[in-house]
Amino acid sequence: MLFSSLICVIIRFVGEAGASLHTQLAKEIRTVIKEEGGAITLSAINKMSLVKSVVYETLRLRPPVPLQYGKAKKDFMVQSHDASYKINKGQFVVGYQPMASRDPKIFANPDEFVPDRFMNDGEKMLKHVLWSNGRETENPAPDNKQCPGKDLVHLLGRLILVEFFMRYDTFTVEITPLFRAPNVAFKTLTKASK
């Protein structure tokens, strides 16, 4: 269920971004696939910097699991730009990931979908993306609660875009507001030009 909601959010953001982004994605995807001999491989997908950035930006804005919680195992300090907060052992702590990843002191236009935000020097900003219950630059381990499937989620998000833009040039979406998350439906699809 959670991964399917991520697919809808990726399609929503890319659809709303419009034809200019679609053209850029299609060009990057098809060029890399052609250079790699025509096959969709892990090596090829890893060379697609715009595709990577689009999925990271989606995860930054709308993580599949927005709330994280637990009891503190020891006393520690939580620091923001402006203050420090002492958390005592045993206290119940709740974190809202989208708030942490939309800090205007870190991200320019924090509430906007910026497809190329994590390209080139922007990759340094990945340490501030916390969708997986930890920093994107850290790895899951037995002593942390970071999602062990975080790399697979990101890879599958990229694969969805690759497969989509190998078949289609552009599309439009219709967004219908619902209680928890909007419904995203394809309005138009333009098949890939040969």
Give phi and psi for 78, each to the nearest 5.
-110, 130
Assigned domain for 20 exists: yes
Assigned domain for 80 exists: no
Residue ranges making up the domain that contains 12: 2-65+101-191
Assigned domain for 90 exists: no
How many other C-beta atoms lie within 10 A of the C-beta of residue 185? 14
pLDDT given for residue 145 in this prediction: 79
pLDDT given for residue 14 in this prediction: 98
* Total residue count of the chain as it appears in this document: 194
C-alpha to C-alpha distances, 34 to 22, 31, 41, 98, nearest whole angstrom: 18, 5, 11, 37
Assigned domain for 36 exists: yes
* Domain harbouring 180, CATH code: 1.10.630.10
Assigned domain for 38 exists: yes
pLDDT given for residue 2 in this prediction: 64
Residues at the annotated binding site? 147
Indicate if the alpha-carbon torsion angle 119, 14, 42, 126 is positive or negative.
Answer: positive
Assigned domain for 146 exists: yes
Each residue's pLDDT expressed in tens, for the chain with a length of 194 residues: 466 788 999 999 999 999 999 999 999 999 999 999 999 999 999 999 999 999 999 999 999 888 888 899 899 998 888 889 999 999 999 888 888 899 999 999 999 999 999 999 999 999 999 888 888 999 988 888 788 889 999 999 999 999 999 999 999 999 988 766 778 899 999 999 87
Residues at the annotated binding site for heme? 147
Assigned domain for 76 exists: no
Assigned domain for 96 exists: no
pTM: 0.91
Structural domain count, the chain:
1
